[in-house]
Amino acid sequence: MPRRPKAVPQMTVAQFETMFPDETACRTYLQVRRWPNGVHCPRCGNDKVFAVSSMPFKWQCYKCAPGSGYRFSVIAGTIFENTNKPLRDWFRVTHLMLAGKKGTSALQIQRLMGFGSYETAHSMCHKIRAALIEPEAKLGGIVEVDETWVGGKAYNKHGKRGGKGTGGAGSGKLPVIGAIERNGNVVARVLRGVTRQTATRFINEVISDRVSLIATDEHRAYHRLAEAGLPHRSVNHNAGQYVVGAVHTQTIEGFWSIFKRGIVGSFHKVSAKYLPLYVAEFQFRYNNRNNPDIFGTAVAGC
């Protein structure tokens, strides 16, 4: 049995306190992460900007506003702009969200940070999740495709909110489809329904022409992938078939396991409105699982 890969060390609480003792340290870090090649105007992209000597971390751009000039700060155009929370609080919340493999709920963030309201933590977490959405790179090699359903069991729902069964169309649950490259990244999306058309469209959008194998289960949405010229093979879970040579969906099912444990154990429930943001959060953490500077990557995208 292959050995489990060693965990990549992430930033500890002690390291966070050392790196970010005050607001100045946080603003300096954000400046370097946001503009590694030098400060430029967030409005027009001009790199010939002038620092405001009397105001640290503020610059003036005269290209997009001739005469008066456009003044901007290090947080201009980021999720940290127009908030009354210090940058250090934003950094701490980001660190807490990334430190837990299965996520940290807004209610737990409120307790740990001592915020006066749940709405504050809820808003900050969702803004950070939106910033974690990364450009999707097409997957190649051996790719597994599978779907899962998110929502409570039908018999636990009241009135007409439920459905029948434990998953699938008519169950009242929300479908999420995902594709994962073996030993690589995952791409997941929330769908209105898993049909042959939506599954094929998703596969064509996220999988490159250099794919050598597309492995799925027996779901009928994948039945005609081979007819479309794709290298498709499947396993039949209903018949007790889980692995046939290189054909299996265990990698993507491992990602679904982490995602579902996070929903059940950390968040308990999520609404359809915000489900895509939770999916983006888990996708970001999974794709950066071998990145020792996942925090810096997250801050650079904010």
Contact status, residue 218 vs residue 237, Cβ threshold 8 Å = yes
Q: Say yes or no to pLDDT of 122 above 90.
A: yes
Rounded CA separation 48/60 (Å):
9
Q: Following CA atoms 55, 57, 62, 67 in sequence, which dihedral angle do they give, to the nearest 10 degrees?
A: -20
Residues above pLDDT 70, as percent of the chain: 91
State residue 130 phi and psi, 5-degree precision: -60, -35
Is the pTM of the predicted complex or chain greater than 0.75?
A: yes
Task: Write down the residue that tokens 């790179």 correspond to.
Answer: 137
pLDDT higher than threshold 90 for residue 6: no
pLDDT, tens only, 224-275: 999 989 999 999 999 999 999 999 999 999 999 999 999 999 999 899 999 9
Average pLDDT over the chain, rounded to whole? 92
Q: Treating both helix axes as pointing N-terminal to C-terminal, what angle do 275-287 and 118-131 enclose, rounded to 10 degrees? A: 60
Tokens at 103, concatenated = 């996520």
Lowest mean pLDDT among 101-110, 129-138, 160-169, 198-207: 160-169
What's residue 68's pLDDT?
86
Specify the DSSP class assigned to residue 270: -
Pick the CATH number of 139-269 from 2.30.30, 1.10.10, 3.30.420, 3.40.50: 3.30.420
Question: pLDDT tens digits, residue range 51-61?
Answer: 999 999 999 99
Q: Is 288 helix (H, G, I), strand (E, B) or coil?
A: coil
| pLDDT value for 65 | 85
- Per-residue confidence (pLDDT) for residue 299, from 0 to 100: 97
**Cα angle for residues 15, 21, 22 (degrees, 5° grid):** 145
Tell me: pLDDT of 5 over 70: no
Question: How many helices (DSSP H) and strands (DSSP E) are in the chain?
Answer: 9, 8
The type of residue at 10 is: Q
Query: Where residue 67 falls among pLDDT bands split at 50, 70, 90?
Result: confident
Residue 120 has pLDDT above 80, yes or no: yes
Residue range 159-181: mean pLDDT, rounded: 73
Q: Where in the chain is the domain with CATH 3.30.420?
A: 139-269
User: How many residues in the chain?
Assistant: 302
What confidence score (pLDDT) does residue 265 get?
Answer: 92
Question: Which three-class secondary structure state does DSSP give residue 139?
Answer: strand
pLDDT band at 175 (very low <50, low <70, confident <90, very high): very high
Distance from C-alpha of 27 to C-alpha of 73, rounded to nearest angstrom: 10
User: 3-class SS at 124?
Assistant: helix
d(CA 214, CA 182): 11
Cα 123 to Cα 107: distance, rounded to the nearest angstrom: 11
Cβ atoms of residues 228 and 261 within 8 Å: no
Residue 64 confidence (pLDDT): 87
For residue range 129-149, what is the model confidence (pLDDT) as tens digits? 999 998 888 999 999 999 999
Q: Are 93 and 256 in contact (CB under 8 A)?
A: no
**Mean pLDDT in residue range 93-119:** 96
Q: What is the pLDDT of residue 151?
A: 83
Predicted confidence band of residue 10 (pLDDT cuts 50, 70, 90): confident
**DSSP letters along 30-90, please?**
HHHHH-TT----TTT--S--EE-TTSTTEEEESSSSTTT-EEEETTTTSTTTT-SS-HHHH
